[in-house]
Amino acid sequence: MERYAEQTRQQFEGWEEFYSRPIDEKLDAFKQNGRIYDIIFAQQFDRSFLDRMCNLADLIRQLAKTKSGQFKLRHLLPHKRAMLYFVQPSTRTFLSFQNACHILGLSVSEIRGTSTSSEVKGESPEDTILTFASYVNMIISRHHEAGFAEKTAWVLNQTHRPVPVLNGGSGPDQHPTQALLDIYTLEREFSHLGGLDNKKIAMVGDLRRGRTVRSLSYLMKNYSGVELFFVAPEVFRMKSDIKEFLERHRIPYHETEDFESVMPLADAIYMTRIQNEYSEDPSHESETYPAFHFKQQHLSKIQAHCALLHPLPRRYEIEVSVDKDPRAAYWRQERNGMWIRAALIAYIFRVEKEILDEFS
């Protein structure tokens, strides 16, 4: 058996104080020249930024339809390199970021687990990240620890060679780029119905530890007339920080365990799985919570325009036979992630204008 050294972690002066501040007071720390620089929290995105990214993603996918368009895209950022540091399992977020980089011509390096990095020798995750900044122009990270991306961006921003950090999921805390692709998906699914404004959205499953629903809830403040339905088993109810945020922003929400009663009301249903990896009480994990699954028979209970979303991976939450229904939007949602992440990277490296110019 291989033996691994204990990870060493030292104190960063000022970090604990910074971390404890309300998010609104921290947003400027992740900007440069008045623009978003690091992507850490969903709260960084306002309506005009969201609309801008959705539009840019549409243009990129339009260009990518032809070989000559793909060539143009690939010549936008061939001089940039990205690091994918994914030390928590990932399929979609990893692949969609990697392919978004490829679309724009960036070269990509990757670490997909601490067992193959010098963290085995006891190097701290912070030193590991500082090392990437010696080689690349952007770091995309996924980590099991809440606040990890925030800390690395904060540490890097105090060095002589900061590079943008993109949070690809930080423990049970936030997943801002997933929220971005969820918004893009909802806007597209409702493009013939006036977009996401004035819609009723149900979020179902493990709302307590699901970072996707947490980040998406924050973004709802950018849309008018939205109403939320949180459908979760008692033990996995949405945490109070999100509920307080919604109250502050006067976004109505309802909590229930009765999924079937919400089905006919919802314009979109966002399904999630139980997040067993963050288990605190094993007795909550032995169950599959079938009352919070979407089955074939439920298709007759939802509205004709209702969009069914899921960040994936799926376990039992949605029966595979539902996939054939045109309202099942999760495979489209998955692909949307690649385009909107390409849009985000184009924004970060300021090649947005080159893309817009192709359409002028």
Told to judge if 128 belongs to the known catalytic residues of this protein, a careful annotator would answer no
Q: Decide whether 143 or 221 has the Cβ nearer to ligand NCD.
A: 143
**Catalytic entry in 26, 175, 273, 341:** 175
Check if 92 is active-site. Answer: yes
353 catalytic per annotation: no
To ligand NCD, the closest distance from the beta carbon of 239 in angstroms equals: 15
Nearer to ligand NCD, 42 or 133 (CB): 42
Selected catalytic residue, list 142, 208, 214, 273: 142
Known catalytic residue at 93: yes
- Closer residue to ligand NCD (CB): 155 or 205: 205
Query: For ligand NCD, which is the closer residue by CB, 44 or 336?
Result: 336
To ligand NCD, the closest distance from the beta carbon of 195 in angstroms equals 23
Tell me if residue 131 is catalytic.
Answer: no
CB 318 within 8 A of CB 259: no
> Between 14 and 313, whose beta carbon lies closer to ligand NCD?
313
Residues that bind ligand NCD (CB under 6 A): 92-93, 169, 175, 178, 211-212, 272-273, 311-313
Give dist(CA 272, CA 163) in Å, integer.
32
What residue type is assigned to position 188 of the chain?
Answer: R
> Least distance to ligand NCD from the beta carbon of 133, Å?
24
- Please identify which of the residues 26, 61, 80, 93 carries the catalytic annotation: 93
Nearer to ligand NCD, 175 or 188 (CB): 175
To ligand NCD, the closest distance from the beta carbon of 273 in angstroms equals 5
Q: What span, in angstroms and rounded, lies between the C-alpha atoms of 94 and 90?
A: 6
Residue least distant from ligand NCD (Cβ): 311
Q: Looking at 9, 47, 75, 121, which residue is catalytic?
A: 121
Q: Select which of 74, 81, 92, 327 is catalytic.
A: 92
Instruction: Please identify, using beta-carbon distances, which residue of 164 and 205 lies nearer to ligand NCD.
Output: 205
Q: What minimum distance in Å lies between the beta carbon of 313 and ligand NCD?
A: 6
Residue 139 exposure: Cα atoms within 13 Å on the Cβ side: 33
Closest separation in Å from C-beta 173 to ligand NCD = 10
- The answer to whether 138 and 348 have CB atoms below 8 angstroms apart is yes
* Per-residue 3-state assignment (H helix, E strand, C coil) for the chain: CCCCCCCCCCCCCCHHHHHCCCHHHHHHHHEECCEECCECCHHHCCHHHHHHHHHHHHHHHHHCCCHHHHHHHHCCCCCCEEEEEECCCCCHHHHHHHHHHHHHCCEEEEECCHHHCHHHHCCCHHHHHHHHCCCCCEEEEEECCCCHHHHHHHHHCCCCCCCCEEEEEECCCECHHHHHHHHHHHHHHCHHHCCCCCCEEEEECCCCCCHHHHHHHHHHHHCCCCEEEEECCHHHCCCHHHHHHHHHCCCCEEEECCHHHHCCCCCEEEECCCCHHHCCCHHHCCCCCHHHCECHHHHHCCCCCCEEECCCCCCCCECHHHHHCCCECHHHHHHHHHHHHHHHHHHHCCCHHHHHHCCC
| Cβ at position 96, least distance to ligand NCD in Å | 9
| Residues assigned a catalytic role | 92-93, 121, 142, 175
